[in-house]
Structure 1
Amino acid sequence: MQQRDLSNSIDLCKMKEVNLSGGNLTMNLIFGLVLVFIFIFTPFSRGLFFETEFYIIHIFIFILFCIWSARSIVTKNTPSVKYFLVFLIPLSFLLSIFVAESPQGAIDNFLRWMNYACFFIILVSLLDNERYRHMLPYIFSGMGVLLAIFALLAYYKLVDYRDAVLIDHLGNQRFTSVFQYGNTYAAVIGSFWLFNLSKLTDRENKVWQVIFFSFPLALFALNLMHTYSRGALLVFASVWMITLLCMPLSRQISFVFHSFLSTFGGLVLFRGLSIYSPITTLILMILFIILSSVFGILYMRYGWKLQKLDKWRLSRFYFMGVAVILAVLLFLDMKNEGFVYKQLPVSFQERVKDISLETYSVQGRSLFMDDALKISSENPILGVGGEGWRILFTHVQEVPYWSNETHNGYLEILLSTGWLGMSLFVGVFGYLFFQLIVQLRSSSKQESTLVVGTLSALLMLFLHSAIDFNFSYGTVWFVIMVLFAMGITTKNKKEKIEKTILIRSVLSLLTLAVAISGVYSLRMYSAENTFSSIQKGQVTESKVKALIDKNPYSVRYQEIAIDVYLQLYQQTKKASYMELAKGSLNRMIELEPRNARVMFNAGIFHYKLGDFEQATIYFDKVLEYDHFNTGYYENIIKMKNDMMQNTYQLDKEKAEIYANSLTNDFKLLNEWHERMKAYSFEINERNFHIPVGARVPVAQTKFFFKHFEEVIPLLQGVEGGDPNLMTQAQAMLAVSYMMIGEKEKSKKVYENMMKQVPNFKEYYNSYLELAKS
């Protein structure tokens, strides 16, 4: 009887295990499908560069993580605790919020990194399953194919996607695909190319696997070349050589041959893209697919005969030596426009010619680095928060370049999180790279090709990010997380968390943090939807209040609130609306007190209220924070001139203060203009110049205070601009000549203007009366 009961109990336990296992499989399938969907389809939201398109992804992944975490606690299985180290990076972004120049930017960056960490942890846990590990390389490569085909379709105008192909300053059509930026797309597509090349060195591939990894090679090569990204090509060549050293000679033969064939195919397709029809291009692509597949199958069948070459001394370095020699010869050929250079398409030759240390591409990045380090020195420990560069680069720049990005992913991390965050970033990813190397040394031959592929793809992305802002794209980080998960989980082990209270506690705290992050993401997503409806003209007081309640950290939203409350005040004259407007203004200033645009808007607000003293304080800060903005100088000088004229009759002392203030602004404008001209190279992306609209108000101020000798040099040669302003300028010039006794010059200006402007006499008499008063 007891034996029967025991037997029944055992059977019941087995049934529960089977049911639990079936439930786990179902949940894993759901998790896997959601992650695959996010990985493959979210890149088409502009590479997840903009926060407005990322909030909904945050919500999905945070919900997914909470469900996964609850299931992990119940089933008592979790990935190794070492993988949870990735959450140290969002922690550093969280700390930076307290010192951030832009709280909104810091919060957005924190949410992004919580998102990446959650995605990574869930993926690592799924890859405990051998079936998912086996499928992931094909999903990964398939995404690369989608991006490459999409760029080609955009080139032929078969899909409508803004800036998927951009025209550069040389007239080249640069592929940017979903990223709308050629250099980042080049780094991403280069990583897919390297991954596939590495996978083809596996002699245990089946025929269909050889065909699968072979067919996009020429397509990847074409896309990389058509980005015209010189930096990406140089990084690709460097990583290619490193990858070569990670393989024995027998595998290097496959790697080199497929590299040569796909490069040749890419060049042929590159040349033919603008000549041949899409059908002919497709036929050429199929031809290269066949050639690459045939070689891959031959290598698969007979590659084992090459294994004896691996025993040769230093055999791993043979191809490397040849590659270095060829690289030197190629460099000399390009420099001297030799045989190989002449075989390149003309558009590519122009890009090669354009390579120089004197180009803006190189000099600009050098300037960004210098200025980023200046900013970093202000708060070296915790940084200045996400988006800090956007606000502060105008404070320190010595040249009028314009860039909302540092063009260096590591500088961006340093600025956002300080040396503390940078240390954690290097430590975490350094550890993950170390894990990859451990896997490479200990994995089987078949697994080693996967690890080499992930390592080479990661190096492509990480090295190129030192010269561009790839890290600003959410898609790039999803690619990176997939690569790490794929490379380090070939021998992953589960840990029983019921035995470790610490791990369970950590997981519970993380779940709480993720849940709170999800609530913030939901509020910001909802606020963005409200903002969109307001932009469409659906403006109501209740919507504005809801907008601010959902997300009180956005300067954009505070600006909207100020405009709406001022409009309501003008319509109703209710003092409460003015108080609400002032409250939003103060909140905006508190959020980003060193943002030049915020200070400018604050100055205009007080100027319109007639609070000239406070307006002047804010306007002075504007020019302190952004000394290369021509528009700011022009508008501020005009408004200070207006302040001077409005107070001249009532309080000449105050009027003189405003006059001196705008004169100092004009001096500052001239000083920075002279400093800009003193540079040995010309970078003026901001079109910084001394505008007529600033010179005339300064001249008016001088005229008011009877400094006629100073008026004349300001107005000589003034032309263009607003006709009324020009007429006033010439009237002041004619009167100034008259007042200093230069009557002939005054007469000449007067007669010339009377021919052009019939009522010029009225302007002249008005200024003459003012001069004599």
Structure 2
Amino acid sequence: MTNQVYGKLYDESSKKERISIEQMNRGSALIWTLVSALIIFLIWAPFQQGLFNGQQLEFERPIYWAVIWSAALLLLCVAAFVKHMRITDRREITAVWVWLLPLTYILSLFSAVSHYMAMDMILIMCANAAFFSIGVFLLQHHAANRVMRAALLWTTYIVVIYGFINWFGQRLFAGSLVGWFTRIVSNGVYTDAVMTDSNGLRLASVFQYANTYAAFLMAMLFAVLFTAVRSRKWYDTLIHGFMLVPIILSIALTLSRGGLIMLPVVFIILLLFLKPAQQLVWIINLMLSVIISLIVLDPITQLGLSLNQVYNGADALKGWALLIGASAVNAALIWLVGKFLQPLFERKFKRWSSRRMASLWLPLGGVLAVAVLGFLIVGTGLRNTLPENMRTRVENINFQQHSVLERITFYKDAMKMVADYPVLGGGGGAWAVLYEKYQNNPYISNQTHNYFLQYLDETGIVGLLILLSFLIYVFYQYIRSYYRIEDEEKKHAHFFYFLIAFSILMHSLLDFNMSYVYISILVFFALGGMAAAIGAKPLFGKKAAEGTKTSNAEGSGTGYPAIYTAAAAVIAIVLVITAGRYLASIKASQEASQLLQGAEQINYEEVREPLDRALDIRPTYPATVSQLAALLQGVYNSTQDVRYLNEAESRLTDVLKKESHSKELIAQLASVYMMKNDQQSSFMQYANNLDKFTWDMNWYNQVIMQAANLGYQAFGQGDFESQKMYAQHGSDAYDKMVAGVEHLKTLPEGQLQGREFSITPQTALSAGKAKYFAGQPEEAASVLKGLLTDDYSNPENLETARWYLIALTKTGQEDQEVYDKLIKADPSAKEQIESLSAIEF
């Protein structure tokens, strides 16, 4: 009897310890410490340029700090919830599955075309996985979930208001607000918060890139719209209704065509998840906000354009008054809709909502409405109501517009890369490193403008399949749970996160939003929020759902939470150590840069010390190795001690084993060889790597001109084998260049070429010489003839005529007119023509 009671009490005690997270009534000190740290991170991260992964040293420092943040937050999370984890159910298994994503980047390290970029992406994906895991566990907790939703909204409002401070010309004030915790502020101004491109001024706020800001705003617009409709307190409804107008105006001021196209598409898809009454309220609220925004859009646009040229306090005040007034009117209207229309619609449509397919009718009508509205704006005079800069962007929305054609080109070129790196990809940063090899024309873009294609390039088919299977599982299980939950409050507790993740991923089909680590972390945290809503059934079998005695007892009897916690702790420690070491390396490298910039006379030993510290940590980091090589070259120029050049050569050769596609390092090694008077090795650096930079005009020029010079030297030495080898390199490079110029003529009319790519007279002259020494006198004569002018006082024209006649004589032909003009201008040319054309090789 005693044993039975004891056993019963023990069983209940065990279950009490292992209650599920969503059954927790209160949060521990660890949970609220985690929430507080997350909020601080959400305020800090956007102002670090959105943690953009720009694949350069100046972008890396805040990213490494974000990795350390993510590791610390992960440790807090597992410590807070280890007693409540179950891991093996359909919900929490995703917190294990997500770690396969950084694993794919680790596997791609074996075929990585850039070691340092690949390592950076491993760290970034670990940060993403950490935030997903935090989302899975933390957002099951009802109180923490509510606080995090509010935190995401309020940090968004901070970013939006900050954007308007810059738009209204108050850039110094904006810089003073955040300059103490971000390096982006330069000369007192947050750089490119209002960016400038061929379209004029565009609002970019903290991201410095208008299109990503538009993607972020679109996601948060739907989150705010959802929250305004769901708010039960009148002041919450007023606050969120107030912010709808600034968000919509900000989207318009980004001038993002992708945002304007994707917004209605995503909105219509999202309506499918709502009941008819909710759909109607969403549509009314959005239309009200859009109409009020359009009323003040033109004056706010014009004020912003003028204030960013010349600041005027009165005009700035007028801009703020328009913005606040329009927002206040909208807030009142949103409150009235929620107070009177929303209850009415819910009563009227209650019976209709229970019908099958009831949620389809309004979205289908929305498609028609969007089509009609699009036609009115693009095809009629209604577009004239828009500001001129926005009207121009809207009028240019078509499939023959240059940004559309360029994106299609990016996508085709990305698939070419896949053919060479199909299974595991080219590692993190593969596109940025390799795109010049595969590009169709000489554009400049370190991003593919499509998250999934970039992921495919970096991790191969294996990586993309794992990513897609993970996303499909999370979305499928979330949507399945969403439709099975009857309780409206519970149903919508995580819909907020679905809105964010789905919106940004959709927009990321057209742009590189996920290259902003803040955005990718936000998406994975939101995906974790979605996973937190998945029904907590066992992964296999048909046992009772979460909250039952079966599942609780089952969860308490496993050791998986302890194993997961230990693994998370190990991962967190590795992340902290690795990111910390990389930060130390960057700090040392920046110390050297400051010494180089600040001193009139460089102290070699003083500069060398921090560079050695940096390289002890990351011996093949390109920027630091390049810095050291430049220092060694400078010391050689002063001392003529070849040991310095030998060390520079050794350092560059070693790093190129890991960074074999680095244009800067290859060119620097070529310059070291040139300083050593090893012209052949210098030339071969350019010639052997020409295929990696197929649209770099300067690279072709180096190959062709050096080939001609070295071929001529070998000819003078009687080394006909070397002569032909050099000359053939130059001849082939010229033929490839000619083919490239002809290819560019076939580009669609609306597509921009990109960088200049043309054949200069000097390049053509060198090519003519190269073809002559390659044993192609007919082709040489043809190239050179096209360069001739009637100005025989010009030394370049004299040289061209001389080599033209040498090549022509070699073929047994003559051009008496050119010959007479040349001899008249330069009688000594006669002997050169006769002697050079007579030599057989």
Q: What TM bracket, shorter-length normalisation?
A: 0.7 to 0.9
Tell me the equivalent position of 2:351.
311
Structure 1 Cα separation of the partners of residues 203 and 823 of structure 2: 58
* Within-5 A mapping of 1:43-58: 43-50=46-53, 51-58=60-67
How far the C-alpha of 1:474 sits from its partner, in A, is 0.8
Alpha-carbon distance change, 433 to 703 in structure 1, aligned in 2, over 3 angstroms: closer
Tell me the equivalent position of 2:117.
105
Q: Deviations over 1:6-41 (max 9, x none)?
A: 9xxx9xx9xxx9xxx999733333322221111122
Tell me the equivalent position of 1:756.
none
Tell me the equivalent position of 2:614.
547
CA contact (8 A) 1:733 1:746 kept: no
How far the C-alpha of 1:408 sits from its partner, in A, is 0.4
Aligned residues: 738
CA contact (8 A) 2:28 2:80 kept: no
Letter in 2 for 1:637: I
Tell me the equivalent position of 1:663.
731
* Within-5 A mapping of 1:616-765: 616-653=683-720, 654-681=722-749, 682-699=751-768, 710=780, 713-714=783-784, 716-717=786-787, 727-733=794-800, 735=802, 745=818, 764=826
Structure 1 Cα separation of the partners of residues 782 and 420 of structure 2: 44
2:560 is the alignment partner of 1:532: no
**SS of match in other structure, 2:756:** coil
Alpha-carbon distance change, 114 to 370 in structure 1, aligned in 2, over 3 angstroms: same
Tell me the equivalent position of 1:290.
328
Alpha-carbon distance change, 506 to 455 in structure 1, aligned in 2, over 3 angstroms: closer
CA contact (8 A) 1:392 1:595 kept: no
Tell me the equivalent position of 1:484.
527
Tell me the equivalent position of 1:199.
227
CA contact (8 A) 1:101 1:388 kept: yes
Alpha-carbon distance change, 698 to 211 in structure 1, aligned in 2, over 3 angstroms: same
* Within-5 A mapping of 1:234-249: 234-249=261-276
Structure 1 Cα separation of the partners of residues 793 and 512 of structure 2: 45
**SS of match in other structure, 2:420:** coil
Alpha-carbon distance change, 269 to 454 in structure 1, aligned in 2, over 3 angstroms: farther
CA contact (8 A) 1:595 1:625 kept: no
Structure 2 Cα separation of the partners of residues 191 and 129 of structure 1: 23
Structure 1 Cα separation of the partners of residues 646 and 292 of structure 2: 68
**SS of match in other structure, 2:482:** helix
Letter in 1 for 2:497: T
Q: Deviations over 1:83-126 (max 9, x none)?
A: 23221111111111111111111111110011122223234433
CA contact (8 A) 2:241 2:335 kept: no
CA contact (8 A) 1:497 1:504 kept: no
Letter in 2 for 1:311: R
Q: Deviations over 1:227-279 (max 9, x none)?
A: 12122112110111122222222222321111011111221232111445333
Letter in 1 for 2:443: Y
Q: Deviations over 1:633-686 (max 9, x none)?
A: 112223333323444433432234323322222222112222222344453202
CA contact (8 A) 1:439 1:488 kept: no
> TM-score normalised to the size of structure 2?
0.80
**SS of match in other structure, 2:689:** helix
Alpha-carbon distance change, 24 to 210 in structure 1, aligned in 2, over 3 angstroms: closer
Alpha-carbon distance change, 199 to 415 in structure 1, aligned in 2, over 3 angstroms: same
Structure 2 Cα separation of the partners of residues 22 and 291 of structure 1: 39
CA contact (8 A) 1:673 1:688 kept: yes
How far the C-alpha of 1:632 sits from its partner, in A, is 0.4
Structure 1 Cα separation of the partners of residues 678 and 286 of structure 2: 69
Larger deviation, residues 309-318 vs 143-152: 309-318
Structure 1 Cα separation of the partners of residues 121 and 771 of structure 2: 50
Structure 2 Cα separation of the partners of residues 155 and 738 of structure 1: 64
Alpha-carbon distance change, 572 to 290 in structure 1, aligned in 2, over 3 angstroms: closer
Letter in 2 for 1:657: M
CA contact (8 A) 2:202 2:253 kept: yes
Letter in 1 for 2:196: I
How far the C-alpha of 1:422 sits from its partner, in A, is 0.9
Alpha-carbon distance change, 178 to 93 in structure 1, aligned in 2, over 3 angstroms: same
CA contact (8 A) 1:191 1:457 kept: yes
Q: Which runs of 5+ in 1 are unaligned?
A: 1-5, 752-760
Tell me the equivalent position of 1:420.
462
How far the C-alpha of 1:316 sits from its partner, in A, is 3.1
Q: Which runs of 5+ in 2 are unaligned?
A: 1-5, 18-23, 54-59, 172-188, 304-314, 537-545, 597-603, 836-841
Letter in 1 for 2:239: F
Letter in 2 for 1:218: V
Alpha-carbon distance change, 270 to 750 in structure 1, aligned in 2, over 3 angstroms: farther
**SS of match in other structure, 2:195:** strand
Structure 2 Cα separation of the partners of residues 738 and 95 of structure 1: 59
Structure 2 Cα separation of the partners of residues 353 and 76 of structure 1: 56
How far the C-alpha of 1:206 sits from its partner, in A, is 0.6
Structure 2 Cα separation of the partners of residues 726 and 345 of structure 1: 56
How far the C-alpha of 1:748 sits from its partner, in A, is 5.6
Structure 2 Cα separation of the partners of residues 574 and 733 of structure 1: 40
Which one of the candidate residues 61, 64, 68 is aligned to 2:70?
Answer: 61
Tell me the equivalent position of 1:754.
none
Tell me the equivalent position of 2:174.
none
How far the C-alpha of 1:197 sits from its partner, in A, is 0.9
2:224 is the alignment partner of 1:154: no
Letter in 1 for 2:729: S
Q: Deviations over 1:729-756 (max 9, x none)?
A: 12314545787776764676799xxxxx
* Within-5 A mapping of 1:8-27: 25-27=28-30
Tell me the equivalent position of 2:291.
264
2:410 is the alignment partner of 1:368: yes
Alpha-carbon distance change, 567 to 248 in structure 1, aligned in 2, over 3 angstroms: same
**SS of match in other structure, 1:167:** strand
Identity of aligned residues (%): 20
* Within-5 A mapping of 1:215-254: 215-254=242-281
Q: Deviations over 1:181-233 (max 9, x none)?
A: 2211111101111111112222x611111012111101111011111212211
CA contact (8 A) 1:692 1:718 kept: no
CA contact (8 A) 1:193 1:221 kept: yes
Larger deviation, residues 669-678 vs 709-718: 709-718
After superposition, the CA RMSD in angstroms is 3.4
Structure 1 Cα separation of the partners of residues 120 and 261 of structure 2: 33
Structure 2 Cα separation of the partners of residues 726 and 704 of structure 1: 26
Structure 1 Cα separation of the partners of residues 192 and 116 of structure 2: 27
Structure 2 Cα separation of the partners of residues 712 and 437 of structure 1: 68
Structure 1 Cα separation of the partners of residues 27 and 488 of structure 2: 31
Tell me the equivalent position of 1:30.
33
Larger deviation, residues 507-516 vs 192-201: 507-516
